[in-house]
Amino acid sequence: DDWELKICCMGAGYVGGPTMAVIAKRCPKIRVCVVDISQKQIDAWKTDDLPIYEPGLLEVVQECRGRNLFFSTDIATEIEAADIIFISVNTPTKTQGIGAGRAANIKNCELCARTIADVATTGKIVVEKSTVPVRTAQAIARVLQSNEKGLKFQVLSNPEFLAEGTAIADLMNPDRVLIGGQQSEEGLAAAAKLVSVYAHWVPREQIITTNLWSSELSKLVANAFLAQRVSSINSISALCEATGADVLEISRAVGMDDRIGKRFLQPSIGFGGSCFQKDILNLVYLCETYGLNECAAYWNQVILMNDFQKKRFSEKIVASMFNTVTGKKIAMLGYAFKKDTGDVRETPSMFVLRDLVHEQANVHVYDPQVKREDMWIEMDYTCGMNKDNTPRLEESVVTAPDAYAACEKAHALLILTEWDEFKTYDYKKIYDSMMKPAFVFDGRNLLDHDALRAIGFEVHALGKPDPLKFSDL
Ligand code: NAI
């Protein structure tokens, strides 16, 4: 075989799968194999029913699979064959023990390093792709170096900045690629090798190299800054509702200052997803570990504001609907944490669902990509709610085949994810099928509220002046 290079990626999830698919597409002479301990996950990657939904992903996988992109559970063989090994496994928040609820658990990363040290017979470049606490590379390097075969490994940090829902576009055209390495001759050579992989399609000036610790920490900082913008604008949405100001007008006015920038200033029911909360908690925990309590409290406030925004939304629903939703049918449109993904990890919709179930509403959920079984797994994992400790949980939540079915005879319609298709519905037809007064709670400011009010809906939007409450001068 005359491959230019052989890459193995441990972890075939939201990051490992799309990242390796794009490397394979852009580097036809590099052999790329994605391995995982989950047989189910690997089997799914070999079909056209991929384990994750991501626009454009299937086309890339179909183009490369069997050519230079492979999926396997034979981890030892693939490690042995590879020159570069990416570690792209999950690093969730610890649920118990020291740092529970804040520290990231890097046990999967350590296990990967142990597997590599065990089975490798030649030295490798090992790349941390997972998001990890700063100085994890030191732990990985020590585990690798304690092999008894005298093998030399190089550890690089190469955090991933893709966003779910736009992963393929982000990978094809990244703002930057970040590679951290040891500042020694061997470390710089290893970093140069990884640079040469990305240089197949990323302009050289967008590939930046740093020391290991800057690279690891940059990923946490990037996510903390992004989440901070969401919490900042969400805090202002609450103030808008109290004063009659319009948060969208504010986003526009503030965002046109190019020191601030336009993006990530949309109010919402709060950020979700597997990364923001986990990575900020990780940053908070790191600050505390180094005795920087003020820094920890500063970043923790981003999470507290997000919790407030989710709770505020549920409370607004109940308060507006005459202080009771008991026994009422409520249609929930959107469950994924954002559009164009089926991912429900930490989705804000789950917290609204939890609150409505506690209020004994009957919730009918429609989402174009979310699988019902995933709702229960995440609900149990994040909210500790399952059918054993919450009677009628599964009966009071119906997953509807479409939005019209979800809304029929409902008292309220909630927009919780900004799916494009929600903008295209016949809302007159939906209004006619609903109970009156027919409430809309638009948690994404997605719909045309004037048009809905003209139909007869009572519309509650985030950070938008309520015409029943405020008038112009
Ligand atoms: P995921 O949960 O979708 O995938 C992780 C995969 O690793 C799973 O399929 C699991 O079976 C596998 N795995 C666990 N231990 C293993 C082992 N010892 N050997 C082989 N495979 C193993 O996780 P996801 O979302 O892909 O995240 C991975 C990392 O990337 C995390 O550290 C995350 O913080 C980071 N990240 C995630 C982003 C996202 O949008 N999801 C974006 C940027 C970074």
For the domain covering 246-461, report its CATH number. Answer: 3.40.50.720
Q: Is 13 annotated as a binding residue?
A: yes
- Give average pLDDT by consecutive 10-residue segment, the chain, 473 residues: 95 98 98 98 98 97 98 98 98 95 96 97 97 97 92 97 98 98 98 98 98 98 98 98 96 97 96 97 97 98 98 98 98 98 97 96 98 95 93 92 98 98 98 98 97 97 89 83
> Does the structural domain 5-202 have CATH classification 3.40.50.720?
yes
Same fold? 5-202, 246-461 = yes
Q: How far is the CA of 374 from the centre of ligand 1 (A)?
A: 16
Ligand 1 atom with the smallest distance to the CA of 129 is: 30
Residue 308 has a CB neighbour count (10 Å cut-off) of: 15
Q: How far apart are CA 237 and CA 273, in angstroms?
A: 21
The response to whether residue 275 sits with its C-beta less than 6 Å from ligand 1 reads yes
For 402, the enclosing helix (H) or strand (E) is none
Q: How many residues does the chain have?
A: 473
Mutate to test the pocket of ligand 1, among 8, 9, 15 (most ligand atoms within 8 A of CB): 15
Q: Where are the domains of the chain?
A: 5-202, 246-461
Note the pLDDT of residue 134. 96
Note the pLDDT of residue 467. 84
Of the residues 8, 27, 240, 275, which is catalytic?
Answer: 275
Note the pLDDT of residue 466. 87
The response to whether residue 37 sits with its C-beta less than 6 Å from ligand 1 reads yes
Q: What pTM was estimated for this model as a whole?
A: 0.96
Q: Which of 46, 49, 20, 41 is nearest to 32 (CA)?
A: 20
Q: Which of 51, 53, 22, 56 is nearest to 340 (CA)?
A: 53
Ligand 1 atom with the smallest distance to the CA of 112 is: 18
Q: How far is the CA of 131 from the centre of ligand 1 (A)?
A: 9
Q: At what angle do helices 348-358 and 372-383 cross, to 10 degrees?
A: 80
Note the pLDDT of residue 318. 98
Q: Which of 166, 170, 178, 245 is nearest to 214 (CA)?
A: 178
Q: Is 341 annotated as a binding residue?
A: no
Q: How far is the CA of 17 from the centre of ligand 1 (A)?
A: 9
Note the pLDDT of residue 469. 86
